[in-house]
Amino acid sequence: MSNFNIKSQLLSCVVIITTFSCCASDPKTVDPIDVIHYNITIAPDLSNRVNKKLYPKPVADSDIISGIVDHFYPGVVTYNLANHTAKTRKTGQRDILRVDFINQKLIGQYGINVLDMQLDLKRFGIHQEDRIKYLTNQSNENLATDKTKFKEAYNKMSETAEMAPAGADIWSYFKDGIKHGLVDKSIDSVLLKNGHIKRDYTCNVLLLLTDGYIEAGLHGKDHCRGNKCYFMSSKTVENFRKAFQQSKSKDMGAFFKENGYGIIPAENPLLKDLHVVVLEMYDRSKDHKGGATMHPSDWDILKLFWSDWLTQSGVKSFQLLPLATSKDEAHSNIRTFLESR
């Protein structure tokens, strides 16, 4: 992730701004300068997917997170949107990188200090000198120390989770766990001395690390509406594959829609301002060498269900990614998503 340069990042977050009506009659008024700040949340599924013996994978979550943390600065912090005044991202950055918990009970159970896994530039407010000293490690409280603390805390949490995994109710997390703060919808406007109007926006990104099987929480027919359920278990995958094969249909997507399959959408108005990357989805239908053992594969079915669920739940954009084969691939996947928004 050595080139975590976020050019053209999250362009879909830029809101098309019109001149304020109160200034519309003033010929001296110039177009606003739009500044994007990045609010990135990492939410790891700490269920039995973290057990390396049960589900071995080429790249550990901690290695993926380490790369993201290392390149928070300068990669994210000094990024400037194309066609906008460069100086607007050299001062006043409000970027945040944090870890959040799908299962909030784990904070106490694992003895976690959540602030150890957070890099927050918003706290400096208008005090740019303090922000610079922090980023360039010229103060007692500095970025280098916080990066080390972040990675050590994440590694410790991962080790604890592997010994004592817990359920991860991803459906409920999307419904109730994603709250204000994780999604910042505020827009701040200031009139600069040169007559420009500077408007600050936040671009909200969720990096969800999960295998793709939503197996915690509600289960069984009592928690389904026909073929739509609150869960996405390995049994769901098996039943769908069997029904599709028996149907003799040649179009899995059409079969999915015609028979009303899916995950019940999560109703949360904040999702419309959230970009989601689902990382490390695990295809359990592959053998230990990575070869397919059945068709359609678990990966094909997971993509179909998750794509429909995230679309119907109203997230702003999303990408689904399978297991990465290397750290470089994992970092490249994340960077590509960020650059394409």
User: At residue 137, does pLDDT exceed 80?
Assistant: yes
> Per-residue confidence at 337, pLDDT binned at 50, 70, 90?
confident
Over range 159-165, report the average pLDDT. 90
Indicate whether 124 belongs to any domain: yes
Residues 163-217 have pLDDT tens digits of 988 878 999 999 999 999 899 988 888 887 877 888 888 889 999 999 999 876 6
- What pLDDT does residue 1 have? 47
User: At residue 126, does pLDDT exceed 50?
Assistant: yes
End-to-end Cα spacing for the chain: 18
> Per-residue confidence at 218, pLDDT binned at 50, 70, 90?
low
Mean pLDDT of the residues in the chain:
84
- What pLDDT does residue 30 have? 63
Indicate whether 199 belongs to any domain: yes
Over range 142-153, report the average pLDDT. 96
| Joined tokens for residue 177 | 């766990």
Q: What is the DSSP letter of 139?
A: S
Over range 41-69, report the average pLDDT. 91
Burial of 139 (0-12, 13-18, 19+ CB in 10 A): middle
- What pLDDT does residue 12 have? 43
Indicate whether 59 belongs to any domain: yes
Distance in angstroms (rounded) separating the CA atoms of residues 37 and 56: 36
- Measure CA 240 to chain center: 27
- Total domains in the chain come to 1
Distance in angstroms (rounded) separating the CA atoms of residues 10 and 26: 32
10-19, 29-38, 299-308: the lowest-pLDDT one? 10-19
Q: What is the DSSP letter of 16?
A: P
Quick check: 50 and 158 in contact, CB under 8 A? yes
Please name the residues in contact with 124: beta carbons below 8 A apart, sequence gap of 6 or more. Answer: 130, 131, 134
Which region holds residue 81: left if phi is over 0, alpha if psi is between -120 and 50, else beta?
A: beta
Residues 65-100 have pLDDT tens digits of 999 999 888 877 876 554 444 455 678 889 999 999
Which of 216 and 62 is assigned the larger pLDDT? 62
Which of 145 and 288 is assigned the larger pLDDT? 145
Please name the residues in contact with 56: beta carbons below 8 A apart, sequence gap of 6 or more. Answer: none
Paired with 205 in beta bridges are 40, 275
Quick check: 203 and 341 in contact, CB under 8 A? yes
Which of 232 and 34 is assigned the larger pLDDT? 232
Which of 78 and 55 is assigned the larger pLDDT? 55
Indicate whether 111 belongs to any domain: yes
Distance in angstroms (rounded) separating the CA atoms of residues 337 and 276: 9
Indicate whether 240 belongs to any domain: no
Over range 134-147, report the average pLDDT. 94
Q: What is the DSSP letter of 296?
A: S
Torsion of CA 138, 154, 111, 118, to 10 degrees: 40
| Joined tokens for residue 326 | 């290397």
Residue found under tokens 């830029």:
14
Indicate whether 260 belongs to any domain: no
**Which structural domain range is residue 144 located in?**
11-216+267-340
Half-sphere exposure of 336 (CA within 13 A, CB side): 10
Half-sphere exposure of 113 (CA within 13 A, CB side): 8
Residues 239-282 have pLDDT tens digits of 999 999 999 999 999 999 999 999 999 999 999 999 999 999 98
Indicate whether 228 belongs to any domain: no
Q: Which amino acid is at 64?
A: I
Q: What is the DSSP letter of 266?
A: P
User: At residue 27, does pLDDT exceed 60?
Assistant: no
Indicate whether 248 belongs to any domain: no
